[in-house]
Structure 1
Amino acid sequence: MDRKIEELKEIIDRSNNIVFFGGAGVSTESNIPDFRTDKGIFNQSTESLYPPEVILSRTFFTKRPDDFFQFYKTKMIYKDARPNAAHKILAELEAQGKLKAVITQNIDGLHQLAGSKNVIELHGTVLENYCMDCMTGFGLDYVLESTENIPRCSCGGIVRPDVVLYEEGLNMDNIHNAIRYISEAEVLIVGGTSLVVYPAAGLIEYYRGNKLVLINKETTPYDRSANLIINDSIGKVLSEATKK
């Protein structure tokens, strides 16, 4: 076993206060594209005249909801995606009492599908939607099966996904909970994220321990602060580090 994997295994085995902070790289192994790599959503060709980062903004959603939903339904929804090894192992660690929380920037709901209970979704989830007028809640199927491109409630209001668009702020309850878990954690494992998207990436600053583990294929701005860095896929690393 690789020396770094052995070190991670020892850290996991000895701790009962682990927090996991994850990004798009956790879900790419479930065939959900990330945003910024060569094959990511931001670099995929689209029929739209607008770049994805513009389409996914609150201003664009307000002005051109038809174009927003056309992109959203075809590029942001992966209904057939299933949890991969990373999702499943994190759920197992939580069931063992080792992992206290999963803090994710992903919106796909795969952590819960794998069995994780305490998941803080910083950017919301595609699985939950609501009417912007009467606030009635709807599931994902309601949006996907809408006969109109812009899904609407019976009251006439637009049904929008409960996700954080560009120009929108994060839910402050989620921020406070994430800060609490990170600041109290003995071990903080950060996986599958480039740590360049703020304010989410800035949450790492609240960690006070000496077991900051970064698992990512590429370097991150926080590498200099890490106690252990493993440049590999998150599913592979966690599988090897938790192998009996």
Structure 2
Amino acid sequence: MIERLQQMIDTSEKVVFFGGAGVSTESGIPDFRSVDGLYNQHYAYPPETILSHTFYEKNTAEFYRFYREKMLYLDAQPNACHRYLAQLEQAGKLTAVVTQNIDGLHQKAGSKQVYELHGSVHRNHCLRCGKAYTVTHMQGDGLPTCSCGGAVKPDVVLYEEGLDEATIEGAVNAIAQCDMLIIGGTSLAVYPAASFVQYYRGKKLVVINKSKLQVNADLVIDDAIGAVFAQLH
């Protein structure tokens, strides 16, 4: 299967990678929906509730307590998947990475064309004046505030919030125009992001995921994506 995957990549000109939480678990960032993930731990509120726009508005301090403890993994490093994709882009093969992750590890590995569907912890802005802040500003105790006195909010898409239109357009166009689509480390359970796959019209659809997905793909590999990409050149 590794040989076939390598051959498919070698004979493609426009590869797009669509990834989810499973891409970052090998970097030590928990998968929300895995057995040991955040959704199976116990808090005063379910993570879906805490990570909602309504909760952010009404229980801002509790939101940030959870956010800092469970969403910021700033020491995490790119794994074999992130590094391989960056190399593939530099070689002119990969046209885009479309990710549901917010950790910025693809950029840390060197990828340039990354569509972050759910935003990034590394971008933050004042809700009053729009001033941008780095993730460092979001650490520590208390509520993050701007020099103008306004509240600073991470550019992470919460439940009840819509995805960025420009990001959607870029991701959909990249998927629609590629001749090979690799889906990796995602259960395809989060919408509307998962629906983007339907825009692919090529004949090289590859799924790499630890658990089986009900997807009609040309190649399916049930394994950790980092372990798979570590065997490619």
TM range (shorter): over 0.9
How far has the Cα of 1:161 moved from its partner? 0.4
Amino acid at match of 2:77: R
Spell out the pairing of 1:43-122 with structure 2 (5 A cutoff): 43-46=40-43, 49-122=44-117
Structure 2 equivalent of residue 205 of structure 1: 198
Amino acid at match of 2:55: F
> Are 2:118 and 1:134 equivalent residues in the alignment?
no
TM-score by length of 2: 0.98
**Residues 126-168 of structure 1, C-alpha deviation per residue, up to 9 Å, x if partnerless?**
00100111111000001104xx421111222111100000000
User: 118-127 or 8-17, which moves further after superposition?
Assistant: 8-17
Distance between the aligned counterparts of 1:18 and 1:174, measured in 2? 18
CA RMSD, Structure 1 to Structure 2 (Å): 0.9
Distance between the aligned counterparts of 2:143 and 2:36, measured in 1? 28
**Residues 192-241 of structure 1, C-alpha deviation per residue, up to 9 Å, x if partnerless?**
000010000000000000100000011223x2x2111000010111121x
Structure 1 equivalent of residue 16 of structure 2: 19
Structure 1 equivalent of residue 221 of structure 2: 230
Amino acid at match of 1:7: R
**Residues 171-193 of structure 1, C-alpha deviation per residue, up to 9 Å, x if partnerless?**
01111111111011100000000
Structure 2 equivalent of residue 155 of structure 1: 148
Amino acid at match of 2:58: K
TM-score by length of 1: 0.94
Q: Give the % identical residues.
A: 55
Structure 2 equivalent of residue 214 of structure 1: 207
Distance between the aligned counterparts of 1:167 and 1:219, measured in 2? 29
Structure 1 equivalent of residue 230 of structure 2: 239
Aligned residues: 233
Match of 2:32 among 11, 35, 53: 35
Distance between the aligned counterparts of 2:57 and 2:51, measured in 1? 11
Deviating 4+ runs (over 4 angstroms):
none
User: 35-44 or 58-67, which moves further after superposition?
Assistant: 35-44
How far has the Cα of 1:45 moved from its partner? 3.0
Distance between the aligned counterparts of 2:171 and 2:123, measured in 1? 20
How far has the Cα of 1:62 moved from its partner? 0.5
Structure 1 equivalent of residue 165 of structure 2: 172
Tell me the SS of whatever aligns to 1:27. Answer: helix
**Residues 33-55 of structure 1, C-alpha deviation per residue, up to 9 Å, x if partnerless?**
01011111111233xx1111100
Distance between the aligned counterparts of 1:226 and 1:197, measured in 2? 19
